[in-house]
Structure 1
């Protein structure tokens, strides 16, 4: 079952319009997460919204937005006033222009979404827009309002749907000059480049996301399983880094190591739907997940972690 749509409205190309729904294309929920606890009692920490001066808790209905002019001086803005300035793109993604994908600076990319027709109507119009973008080999640029803010969105075909990537505005992207100005101008010799290119050729391949494993997530799972099993936790010795004294010698030694074969995953890659948490060992006394699914509903099992 698909997750709940983040946004519903209309996709419009000139006079061609269709109802669409926008869904998040990525998820962080499968990762291990922690709660904050009171060390003395083991109870969870609860956050309250309190008045900064009086320390009294403030109910949600009494909380308003405010823009800070200077210390302790704010301009209050009501929900009704914000709704007054709502934009048309709150319910419509208007395609303003078409650009080459290579024209979009990667620094402007924020996050991807899936876009599909909403309901049983509008599939014809959606398909026309999708196939037009595909045939022209372009990216469609439009605007969409999420969480009351207008975003630029870049749309491109993916299978039967569209992928929409939110883009940053120019004022959100920092200039590289403030970071790069102090980099020294170094003359790189042809010999150095030749050796470095040889290393690149040895390590060249194709991007296959399933080859990569989140080693920190795996280490977290191992840590939790060891603690649940009552095993002692012993710190691992960390490898020491070596200072590069002779750059040419380091390049030669790197080439001499040869093309090391790509490390095969130690475990079969897990499907995204199953998530990392499936690797957690079952709680003692509980049946494995598949067996538990056949049990009659009754007591609710504890989460594995």
Structure 2
């Protein structure tokens, strides 16, 4: 079944307004999720909001948002007041400019979406925009109101459409300098650098998301299946934390193990080639 667009609108570039469809680029629907159950009755538990002072349940119609200005002091905001503060949701992604694609720092990325042309006579213009961005190796900076929130987006060409990532704002992202500023600057050279280079080269590969395993989710699926079949569940003991070893020794051991694997692979390939020659 073809995916359904979660949002339809326009990309606005200068005087152009190109009709587009927006699709979620990621989903958590296939992850295992749980309900909260009353252990005694086996019934689902529903969530309720309780008044901290009276301990009474607060009905939905009496629930409002409040911003704390001091201990026990709040500014109350009503739904219509919050709605009025939002920019008009005109279903438009306005392109404000273009930047070199390599300048986009992925630490700012939030959620991914796909943008595709909705067709019509402007479908070709959309294709021209995508191809032009691809050839110029640029990304577009856009503004939009998505799902009741004003967002900044980075749009990058991908296939016949665009990948759009909503961005975290500057004040939301912790800069690397804040985390690493206390670390001493170290000069790495000689044998340690050679060993590290060797390990990296023996482990080089290509980026393939299909090879990523969600081990926790799979373990949960296996656990649920086992319990449904009435099997006895044994909880294994926790592994002890790995011992801290000398870095150089660890690199040497890793390089030795990688070299052994490489040697076995070469021997296996040689044996296979010899077998093929004899067969021919």
Global fold match (TM > 0.5): yes
* Greater Cα shift, 218-227 or 78-87: 78-87
1:155 aligns with 2:141: no
TM-score, with structure 1 as normaliser: 0.77
More helix by percentage: 2
Determine if the alignment matches structure 1 residue 68 to structure 2 residue 57: no
Q: Distance in 2 between matches of 1:260 and 1:219?
A: 32
Q: Distance in 2 between matches of 1:255 and 1:5?
A: 49
Shift of 1:21: 2.4
Q: Residue 41 of structure 1: SS of its match in structure 2?
A: coil
Which residue of the partner structure matches residue 274 of structure 2?
none
> Residue deviations 1:157-206, cap 9 Å, x none?
22222110111111111133442233234443311010111000010011
- Once residues 33 and 260 of structure 1 are traced to their aligned partners in structure 2, the CA distance between those partners, rounded to angstroms, is 43
What SS is found at the alignment partner of 1:18? strand
Instruction: Structure 2: give runs of 5+ residues left out of the alignment.
Output: 263-280
**If the length of structure 2 is used for normalisation, what is the TM-score?**
0.84
RMSD: 2.4
Task: Give the structure 1 partner of residue 204 of structure 2.
Answer: 204
Cα pair 2:86 2:150 within 8 Å, conserved: no
- Which one has the largest radius of gyration? 2
Q: Deviations over 1:94-114 (max 9, x none)?
A: 111111121111210111001
Say if 1:89 and 1:143, in contact at 8 Å, map to a contact too: no
SS of match in other structure, 1:129: helix
C-alpha contact (below 8 Å) 2:89/2:148 kept by paired residues: no
What is the match of residue 217 of structure 1?
A: 217
Question: Could you tell me how far 1:90 is from its partner in structure 2?
Answer: 4.4
Is 1:111–2:107 an aligned residue pair?
A: no
- Give the corresponding residue for 1:83: 83
Say how many residue pairs are matched.
262
Task: Say which SS state the counterpart of residue 69 (structure 2) adopts.
Answer: strand
Which residues of structure 1 form unaligned runs of 5+? 263-305
Shift of 1:237: 4.8
